[in-house]
Amino acid sequence: MSPAGCSHVNGYKVDNWKQNLRVIYQCFVWSGTAETRRRKAKSCICHICGAHLNRLHSCLYCVFFGCFTKKHIHEHAKNKRHNLAIDLLYGGIYCFVCQDYIYDKDMEQIAKEEQRKAWKLQGIASCIGEKYTTWEPTKRELELLRHNPKRRKITTNCTIGLRGLINLGNTCFMNCIVQALTHTPLLRDFFLSDRHKCEMQSNSCLVCEMSQLFQEFYSGHRSPHIPFRLLHLVWTHARHLAGYEQQDAHEFLIAALDVLHRHCKGDTINDNGKKANNPNHCNCIIDQIFTGGLQSDVTCQVCHGVSTTIDPFWDISLDLPGSSTPFWPLSPGGDGSTVNGESHLSGSTTLTDCLRRFTRPEHLGSSAKIKCGSCHSYQESTKQLTMKKLPIVACFHLKRFEHSAKLRRKITTYVSFPLELDMTPFMASSKESRMNGQYQQSVDVLNNDNKYSLFAVVNHQGTLESGHYTSFIRQHKDQWFKCDDAIITKASIKDVLDSEGYLLFYHKQFLEYE
């Protein structure tokens, strides 16, 4: 094929070629509706051997389906002199004269438009649900790959994506959060696929800097990266974090997510005009990944009327035993003590305990009466928090730093946390099922989207006045590394689970892949 592209396309571009190509994409390639998918499954078989697979292609000139692997589509093209065919799985167009898949600007535009329509019909979000066309190398490219000894091979022992960060003066709080963000699977995929469309002035966008940071992390370089531009932008857009004093890693995380959210302009609604499916009603990549919905039910103690509100959250802050806030006693032998498979040591506290306390009904007392919408008078009430909508990445903040008028201290209570976490017991739907007498402790296969895997842990060593942040990062399944600013060392699962834990990052299991 010449550098100018395929010259044989012009023979196809006559009469109603655009409409014909659209129909082929709609009915036989992308298949946006259930009906078109059923029709494709029934009709799209090789007209020679009857197979569904073997890289099925459709002739662009007539209704003929043929196998590419067994060359049945090649035979048809030769006999009928129909030079172009379309791959029914990926939508690529093949020229039998050029003997290669071709690129044509007009055809590519039609393909993208019809693909977006199909995704919309299937309810797939534009930022995280897009299906990327698989690249298939040509014979020439395969030959070059075989003879190139320096090509990079991704294996379970690969360390690409691991890179230390230079401490620029008490910036370990930033470095540990950057490590967690750069190892968030869907966030990594977004930035490495160059999805950000910047609408800000040059050198002022934190999203652009994060995009560059991902490129640096996954470039394969082994030397520590110096995040001076990132630090400058954080100081610019979150002035309360400016200066060389030690800051709180949790505060930095929330500030970073807020600035990234504000700089991701242009993605606030879906293409069909409906609000995005998260409580922030924003379709930017940050809200798609990190935003969940927290349901608050306030129940009147007189008429039992319930007032419900749903608020967005990026993280859940959990009280710990040892704080001045009374901690609800949870005995190891109590109801649900086996949730998430956490084993209780004598007197130990688990993450599940903290979540149970967070979602327990709380009596507001006589000093905090509310005006009941049903009674139309001020009454005592109870309040209960549950999860209405779970985020893709759930971040749990263990409240280890206590600040009050009389007390400033760090709480060092050990909290055990699991590698795999099931959030089903803490969902609003589970509460409703229990109230209706329908809730069962057995694991429901339909609740797989409530299950999470641990992928990052941020720890704080030292005291409130003098301390240091480090993080554990999961590189591959069951393969962990400790990130201590510029130093990266291999860690065991025991090292991770035995750590004190300050911020715990969990990723939805069904959206993960190794």
Active site residues: 172, 468
Q: What are the tokens at 27?
A: 């009915």
Q: What is the dihedral of CA 305, 440, 450, 412, to 10 degrees?
A: 80
**Residue pair 267/195 in contact by the 8 Å Cβ criterion:** no
Residue 175 to residue 247: CA distance in whole angstroms = 11
Question: In 3D, which of 114, 105, 113, 126 has the Cα closest to residue 29?
Answer: 114
* CB count in 10 Å sphere of residue 375: 12
Residue 371 to residue 102: CA distance in whole angstroms = 68
Burial label, 74 (beta-carbon count in 10 A; 0-12, 13-18, 19+): middle
Residue 149 to residue 163: CA distance in whole angstroms = 24
CA distances from 447 to 279, 319, 390, 422 (A): 21, 27, 12, 9
* CB count in 10 Å sphere of residue 226: 14
Q: What are the tokens at 391?
A: 């985020």
Residue 278 to residue 289: CA distance in whole angstroms = 10
Q: Running DSSP on this structure, what letter comes out for residue 128?
A: T
Task: Classify the phi-psi angles of 54: left when phi > 0, otherwise alpha if psi is within -120 to 50, otherwise beta.
Answer: left
Residue 334 to residue 275: CA distance in whole angstroms = 42
Question: In 3D, which of 411, 300, 451, 316 has the Cα closest to residue 361?
Answer: 300
Cβ-count burial 16-27 (b if 16+ within 10 Å, e if not):
eeeeebbebbbb
Q: Which residue has the tokens 């419900």?
A: 308
For the chain, give the longest Cα–Cα distance: 90
Q: Running DSSP on this structure, what letter comes out for residue 385?
A: E
Cβ-count burial 313-324 (b if 16+ within 10 Å, e if not):
bbbbebbbbebe
DSSP 3-state percent helix, strand, coil across the chain (nearest 5): 30, 25, 45
Q: What are the tokens at 153?
A: 């091979």
